[in-house]
A and B are shown apart, each in its own frame.
Chain A
């Protein structure tokens, strides 16, 4: 089976040559492509691959189908293009990307124009545009091998220059490297690579063989030498598979190679161990689960503290979520010994659970205090911010914030901040709606769950340490008096303002 599929075609010399040429093209493009990607030159790579066409055609017109002439013509056209782009860029207000766009399409059109005049002599445009690996001659093979050696040799010999000018051109210039020379040198070997690839993949598709293997490798490694090796390997594999697919199924070989390499890229994009979309989604889901569990622990803590019911339904209401969503995390929290569920169904925190809840509350309230005091954010905005960060702030940072704020006792809403050792000042406050008509209380804190309520209270001056007296109760609504002013509060507000009875 394997023999039939892969070895049998190799009895034909043209297939042997095609295979060797394709592998070389895959390797050269893969390696060189890494630098093209890191220097953000993908567009110029595409441009150059199109722009060599007139050079190739003119060389053909002058010298016939001599390989070396075609090669020279292409390199010449490539360098002219690179210089022209640089010239336009430097001498006008046209930026580089537009300059590339103008020049390369112009050059490509010139090539197409020349070919259309040459129809009579059977220079097949198709072969230039889409490649024809099965037509590789021994001469083509030598040329490709020589170009390959020059390019790989240059990458090995001038690795330092290529690496540093790509990474930090300023330092490269500072220590005396000629960055412009490196740039034009790269343009030169890029033109050569394109010529070498003409037969295998053609002008239109070569940029995929140049960019995609490197882009794939970039998702898999954080080291440049490994990226070079991986990209070469991916390029070679794609070239081989593409060639066989085209042999057996009679597809265009260049297109088959590009489809294979694109598929390899897409699979890597999804499955890569560090950069992959899948692993990132899993990490995100895990973080979400953890945050939800944190929120449940906090809810149980707050409800217990306010002497309210802690059945799962109440917690769901408190968090504004469906009961169903909470079942699994609560079960896990029980298994992890953070929660204890007695027969009455009321959730209780274990010691570990309380510790974790206090840690979160500490992080949340310190961060809120920091944002209000140091960053000058409005009272009503900070809760949301703190909610996002409380789960992920490392302990060391929380402690540092604590220190910088001078170990505050309460947050801006008046709620006590748990200490580093897990102790928290007892609160003797109750929701405002527990006060009867005629009773007086001092606001100790305002629950921060609903920003709109918080903002309204803040604007009205109903903030911690203000003394108020209840003058009237009407179902959930209450009328209170502060000094001379009277306020009417609905049950949204009265259940969230905490007071200490006087």
Chain B
């Protein structure tokens, strides 16, 4: 689609309280395909995602999105946070949450228009949550909650979707729904980047992999980089690799 790198990360270092979480990462993401970020706990997977949005203090390096500093293109990036950070007792309905996706395009005191509401309805429909529109979000199952946040990202009509551990605590149906949706979006030319913890389905889900362990270990097409040698470099001694027919299974401990 674009020739310039969609996301261009140069020499990125992020530290929390002087302890580096990401060290000198250089990465150009521009391929068409779903990109997974994998690595052990504490490898900086979520931090990398947050750094793209400048949600964490960046110590060194630059990040450009569509060739611009991120502040200029924020509305073009949607972000689905990890479920744990959400207060599920908050008095908002499914509809309310999905409408938040539209806020990215609204002026400071602008109210949602009929068009915004139509987009919200459509997004809710795409994740099959129609009958739950008026439900408070705490009344939903884990899978349904994840779908609501996905609908919010859809309603934002962004060019880039960043998902942080979307498969944690969801049922098989929702997992499939998320995958299908990721593919649809990708076919429409949108970039989808997913932080993933579970290595089991990496080969099925992602066309490209970013493998990090604070440092960037590898980036490339999944079939080229999802190899025992690179995996053990990513996971250090904490990985048992089992070979089963043609496929590799990694078990992180």
Q: Which residues of A contact B (CB under 8 A)?
A: 38, 157-158, 160-161, 163-164, 166-168, 170-171, 173-177, 218, 221-224, 226-227
Contacts and interface: CB of A to CB of B under 8 A. Distances in A.
Contacts, number: 69
B92 A173 contact: no
A167 B53 contact: no
B228 interface: no
A170 B81 contact: yes
B85 A170 contact: yes
B77 interface: yes
8 contacts: A163-B96, A163-B100, A174-B77, A175-B75, A176-B75, A176-B104, A222-B91, A222-B138
B71 A158 contact: no
B169 to A, nearest CB: 16
A227 B103 contact: no
Contacts of A166: 90
B63 to A, nearest CB: 13
Given A158-B108, A222-B136, A175 B74 contact: yes
B86 interface: yes
User: For chain A, what secondary structure do more than half of its interface residues adopt (helix, strand, loop), or is it mixed?
Assistant: helix
B181 to A, nearest CB: 18
Nearest to A173: B55
Given A174-B74, A176-B74, A167 B93 contact: no
B74 A224 contact: no
A53 B59 CA distance: 40
A222 B106 CA distance: 25
A156 B152 CA distance: 23
B79 interface: yes
B104 to A, nearest CB: 4
B104 A157 contact: no
Given A163-B92, A174-B77, A158 B100 contact: no
Contact of A218 (B55, B75, B91, B156): B91
Given A160-B106, A222-B136, A174 B55 contact: yes
A224 B96 contact: yes
Contact of B103 (A157, A175, A224): A175
A290 to B, nearest CB: 22
Contacts of A176: 71, 74-75, 104
B90 A167 contact: yes
Contacts of B50: 170
Nearest to A223: B91
A167 B87 contact: yes
Contacts of B86: 167-168
A230 B91 CA distance: 13
B92 A170 contact: no
A168 B85 CA distance: 8
Nearest to A157: B109
Given A173-B55, A174-B55, A176-B75, 8 more contacts: A38-B87, A38-B91, A164-B103, A168-B81, A176-B74, A223-B92, A223-B96, A226-B91
Nearest to A170: B81
Contacts of A161: 108
Nearest to B164: A170
Contacts of A171: 79, 81, 100, 152
B108 to A, nearest CB: 7
Contacts of B93: 222-223
A38 B90 contact: yes
B12 to A, nearest CB: 17
Nearest to A226: B91
Contacts of B103: 160, 164, 175, 177
A157 B110 CA distance: 8
A157 B108 CA distance: 8
Given A157-B109, A160-B106, A174 B91 contact: no
Nearest to B71: A176
Interface string B51-85: 00111000000000000000100110111010001
Nearest to A169: B85
Contacts of A177: 103
Contacts of B106: 160
Give me the 7 closest cross-chain CB pairs, A-B, nearest first. A222-B136, A175-B104, A176-B74, A174-B79, A224-B91, A174-B53, A157-B109
Nearest to A175: B104
Contacts of B74: 174-176
Given A175-B104, A176-B75, A167 B92 contact: yes
